[in-house]
Homo-oligomer: A and B are copies of this chain.
Amino acid sequence: MYCLVKFAPLFLAVAVCNGWLFGDFVGKRSELDEISLWPLPQKFQSSAVAFKLSPARFQIVQAKQSSAGPSCSILENAFRLETFSQLVYEDDYGVNNINKTDISDFPRFAHRGILLDSSRHFLPLKVILANLEAMAMNKFNVFHWHIVDDHSFPYMSRTFPELSQKGAYHPFTHVYTPSDVKMVIEFARMRGIRVIPEFDTPGHTESWGNGIKDLLTPCYSDSSPSGAFGPVNPILNSSYDFMTQFFKEISTVFPDAYIHLGGDEVDFSCWESNPDIQRFMVQQGFGTDYSKLESFYIQRLLDIVAATKKGYMVWQEVFDNGVKLKADTQIHVWKGRPQYQDEMAQVTAAGFNALLSTPWYLNRISYGQDWVNIYKADPQNFTGTDAQKKLVIGGEACLWGEYVDATNLTPRLWPRASAVAERLWSDKSVTDVDNAYNRLVQHRCRMVKRGIPAEPLFVGHCRQEYKGL
């Protein structure tokens, strides 16, 4: 879909074939310890033959067999290739060197994502862009933007401007304008990263209710409205009319083929308290099974979104509740109970694409080197057939926003998310923790050198320490 993605295997080859012809041969180098690729390529052979790089004369050219012309600006831009730059090391004299290296590379999984949550705390544009840069350094290719939730609605909608006017923490300073959103998408696209927005309904929508009258269910207490509101009201046609218009806008603003529709953690207590909802349940013959009402809502929402020609991702509850889903629906596994391995098996046994996040909730922190367990988790580590394993399209590291904002998000995410990056990119056999530690220590210093405040794994230092706070 994007030029960059399409040509990825090609331009890697270009760098391999031609890159160092423009360096100066400087003889053999015995120690390769300065070279630490992350994530590890699928096939990689380095030799001791080293070349010096001259900033003035160095260039990357396309191989003769390349089918991409110079008109592909993304490819031209991408000649700052991540893997190539990791091969360059500074010697004791400050000269950039590179060793003759053959690399043949491709990702193990197609979907390698990071979820950021801009609702619990507003994330300034600068923070999002810096993390897209870090994602590119780690070969992540999906930014799952959990853009709105109960606590605030920072997305500025052209169709319903009152959503952010009344639902954001502040209508001017704590919003993403259409041009902000465009910038995020374009900045990501230039780095081979898709932006998948999540607009989670029918739960997690408290902030939506400020701007849209009657969208949320009025909760009752002692047979009168309590003043509180619950999930989207699933029994009013106006709710679906709103969703139709809203997702029509979203489908044009975000060019990716997929939208994440949420569908998690719907609290039934408000629905249960509301006499109109109770009456509707009887009419529909749902008894007291409110998950049937949830499915009723989701079913209609999926039809609305399908009409925009987008595919959809949903949290696992939507699958668990037996909602009828299009064959290309992607099921996002996040719960710890039942065991995520069982859920992965069930989702793929039903023929759906599965994405894993359960072991990668990076908002959860503990003392010490927790990257090790993050690194050990494998999305295909469940009991199932080869066909089932092939339905696993990847995973996402999630950094939910309750305890993070611009002050601490970046060091909390990196390099812990780098452990996920290697799991999703490199061969399944790449599991040596000691080896990973040594490479990751250097990789995190590389991020620091580029201005990303990636936190240390353990005691030690970087040649260039972080210059911010």
* Residues of chain A having any CB pair with chain B under 8 Å: 120-122, 124, 126-127, 130, 151-152, 169-170, 173-174, 363-368, 401-408, 410-412, 448, 451-456, 458-461, 463, 465-469
Chain B residue at smallest Cβ distance from A451: B469
Question: Is A169 within 8 A of B122, CB to CB?
Answer: no
Question: Is B366 within 8 A of A367, CB to CB?
Answer: yes
CB-defined contacts of A452 to chain B, threshold 8 Å = 469
Using A173-B465, A406-B453, A408-B411 as known contacts, list a sample of 12 further A-B pairs with CB atoms less than 8 Å apart, ordered by residue number in A: A122-B465, A124-B465, A126-B467, A405-B466, A406-B466, A406-B467, A407-B455, A407-B456, A407-B466, A407-B468, A408-B455, A452-B469
| Bound-state Cα–Cα, A406 to B363, Å | 20
| Bound-state Cα–Cα, A124 to B127, Å | 23
Question: Is A459 within 8 A of B406, CB to CB?
Answer: no
Question: Is A461 within 8 A of B406, CB to CB?
Answer: no
CB-defined contacts of A364 to chain B, threshold 8 Å = 367
CB-defined contacts of A453 to chain B, threshold 8 Å = 406-408, 469
Question: Is B406 within 8 A of A468, CB to CB?
Answer: yes
What are 22 pairs between A and B in contact, CB < 8 Å? A122-B465, A124-B466, A124-B467, A126-B467, A127-B469, A173-B465, A364-B367, A365-B365, A365-B366, A366-B366, A367-B403, A402-B459, A403-B455, A403-B456, A404-B455, A405-B455, A406-B469, A407-B456, A407-B468, A408-B412, A451-B469, A468-B469
Q: Shortest 8 CB-CB distances between A and B: which pairs?
A: A407-B453, A408-B411, A169-B461, A408-B455, A406-B466, A120-B459, A407-B466, A407-B411
Query: Which residue, A130, A461, A469, has most C-beta atoms of chain B within 10 A?
Result: A469
| Bound-state Cα–Cα, A376 to B465, Å | 36
Chain B residue at smallest Cβ distance from A368: B403
Q: A170-B461, A174-B461, A365-B367 are in contact. Are A405 and B456 (CB under 8 A)?
A: yes
CB-defined contacts of A404 to chain B, threshold 8 Å = 455-456
Report copies per complex.
Answer: 2
| Bound-state Cα–Cα, A452 to B152, Å | 24
CB-defined contacts of A466 to chain B, threshold 8 Å = 124, 405-407
| Bound-state Cα–Cα, A156 to B43, Å | 46
| Bound-state Cα–Cα, A151 to B126, Å | 35
CB-defined contacts of A151 to chain B, threshold 8 Å = 459-460
Chain B residue at smallest Cβ distance from A123: B465
CB-defined contacts of A368 to chain B, threshold 8 Å = 403
Minimal beta-carbon separation of A82 from chain B (angstroms): 20
Query: Which residue, A121, A174, A365, A404, has most C-beta atoms of chain B within 10 A?
Result: A121
| Bound-state Cα–Cα, A468 to B451, Å | 11
Question: Is B121 within 8 A of A459, CB to CB?
Answer: yes
Chain B residue at smallest Cβ distance from A150: B459
CB-defined contacts of A122 to chain B, threshold 8 Å = 461, 465
Minimal beta-carbon separation of A119 from chain B (angstroms): 9
Question: Is B367 within 8 A of A170, CB to CB?
Answer: no
CB-defined contacts of A458 to chain B, threshold 8 Å = 402-403
| Bound-state Cα–Cα, A368 to B403, Å | 7
Question: Is B408 within 8 A of A408, CB to CB?
Answer: yes
Minimal beta-carbon separation of A274 from chain B (angstroms): 26
CB-defined contacts of A410 to chain B, threshold 8 Å = 407, 469
Minimal beta-carbon separation of A351 from chain B (angstroms): 36
Chain B residue at smallest Cβ distance from A367: B364
CB-defined contacts of A365 to chain B, threshold 8 Å = 365-367
Chain B residue at smallest Cβ distance from A457: B403
CB-defined contacts of A461 to chain B, threshold 8 Å = 121-122, 152, 169-170, 174, 405
CB-defined contacts of A468 to chain B, threshold 8 Å = 406-407, 468-469
| Bound-state Cα–Cα, A459 to B204, Å | 14
| Bound-state Cα–Cα, A404 to B454, Å | 10
| Bound-state Cα–Cα, A363 to B453, Å | 18
| Bound-state Cα–Cα, A367 to B452, Å | 23
Query: Which residue, A366, A459, A460, has most C-beta atoms of chain B within 10 A?
Result: A459
| Bound-state Cα–Cα, A367 to B121, Å | 17
CB-defined contacts of A402 to chain B, threshold 8 Å = 458-459
Question: Is A405 within 8 A of B121, CB to CB?
Answer: no
CB-defined contacts of A454 to chain B, threshold 8 Å = 407
Chain B residue at smallest Cβ distance from A169: B461
CB-defined contacts of A173 to chain B, threshold 8 Å = 463, 465
Minimal beta-carbon separation of A151 from chain B (angstroms): 5
User: Which residue of B121, B124, B126 contacts A460 across the interface (Cβ within 8 Å)?
Assistant: B121
CB-defined contacts of A126 to chain B, threshold 8 Å = 467, 469
